[in-house]
Amino acid sequence: MAKLTKSSIDRLPLPPRKPDGTAQQAIHRDDALPGFGLRIGSGGAKTFFVEKRVNGRVKRISIGRYGHLTPTQARLKAQELLGSIAMGNDPAAEKRAKLAKSVTLEEAFEDYLATHRHLKPGTVHNYRKCIDGCLSTWKTRRLVDISKDMVEAKHRELGATAPARANNAMRVLRAVFNHAIAKYEDESGRPTLHFNPVDRLGKVRAWNPVKRRQTLIKPHQLAAWFDATLTLNEETTRDFFHFLLFTGLRKTEAATLEWSDIDFADKTITIADTKNRDPHVLPFSSMLQDLLERRRANGGAAWVFESPKFPGTPLKEPRSATAKVAKEWGYPFTPHDLRRTFITVAEGLDIPHYALKRLLNHRDTNDVTAGYIVSNVERLRAPMQKIADFLIQHIGPERLASEVAALPATPTREEPDGAALPTFTLVEDE
């Protein structure tokens, strides 16, 4: 067409849709100003653009919508952009760089989550708590405006009341910045962010020292702890705690088990969705077989540990039950203490190193030897039963009589009284 004017644009027809309903576009170029044009969509949208060869490639840069801009305004903007291109500039790259520099923490965080689709829902939830809870006032700030001094001051402020939470929030912020540094670039292809402000914390040794929890149930405490669990009203929660103690599983792994994960013929438990994403198969001990058979006989739900409050869903975090057990027992208690107890018992019984790693589904990327070992679940049955025997011996078989069959103890070494009493040292969980 000739010159793009209001009257000529208003007369232009809309391009028809394809037979399958897909929208099409029609291009109309202005003869009076080469490189200036109008794009019309089947839906009625009309957008001015500039089209020019930049660095050997033809690029089309949108200027704005007809209606928002008059043809005269769009023509002036087109002349400006064409002049910039003639001077050797790349308006499209400049626009991307401008947008990159304007990215806020919230936008970068959402892009980080969209890119890291492998993150588990629980991890995403925790990350959101860090951003929404600790850094909520920064969400609308541009990343380029978040300085090292700001990070250090915020970390100090948060750490005054919650040292671990302050560290976690800054670790999430560090991950978002690393993602942004790799993704957002200026017109020359260089990062718009030249440093990660969270790195300041490591360089000045400002990270808060946070000791890992070291609580566990000692052998002489097992009987009293078990008695405390029997005061719970819900059988599901009692069984859940006992199951954690005798498997060493993480609470989420156990709570989300379905009956399809339990193979009674093969006497195995399969955890498909684990922390390290490696499928984990555990053999039954006699205690676990009795517990699982009793649960299967008492209910037909899909979940091994179905929520008593919300039928049809897996058991959630049993906070009130945990608090009650701690009160009745008289010591602090968390479900993860049961995993630490399982690990410590196994280590004290001299369970072979690789068998212990397989029981816990621990991955060691630096262990070359482990990569050549193909573990068979059958080789884990004896260690699993050995751990169960020790736990039952110290709980007291008579306490288990109403829920599971008593199992004979299998001493690991003979002491004067014939009991198996290994020396215990706390083994940290990974």
Give the domains, in start order, of the chain with CATH numbers: 6-89 (3.30.160.390), 105-203 (1.10.150), 219-400 (1.10.443.10)
pLDDT score recorded for residue 98: 62
SS3 200: helix
User: CA–CA separation, 147 vs 155, rounded Å?
Assistant: 12
Angle, CA 143 vertex, CA 140 and CA 146 arms, to 5°: 95
Q: In this structure, are residues 40 and 26 in contact, taking their beta carbons and an 8 Å threshold?
A: yes
Using alpha carbons, select from 341, 364, 370, 346 the residue that is nearest to residue 356.
346
Q: Between vectors from CA 368 to CA 364 and to CA 373, what angle results, nearest 5°?
A: 85
CA distance 427 to 421: 17
- DSSP code of residue 187: T
pLDDT at 420: 40
Contact 33, 27 (CB under 8 A): no
Q: How high is the pLDDT of residue 191?
A: 74
Please give the pLDDT value at position 369.
Answer: 42
**How much is the pLDDT for 118?**
85
pLDDT at 403: 54
Position 94 scores a pLDDT of 59
Residues of the chain with pLDDT under 50: 365, 367-374, 404-430
What does the pLDDT read at residue 357? 86
Q: pLDDT value at position 113? A: 95
Q: Which of 224, 251, 247 is nearest to 237 (CA)?
A: 251
Alpha carbon 143 to its chain centroid, in Å, reads 23
What amino acid is encoded at 134 in this protein?
Answer: C
For the packed helices 381-395 and 353-360, what is the interaxial angle rounded to 10 degrees? 80
- Residue-level pLDDT at 289: 93
Tell me, what's the pLDDT at 240?
A: 96
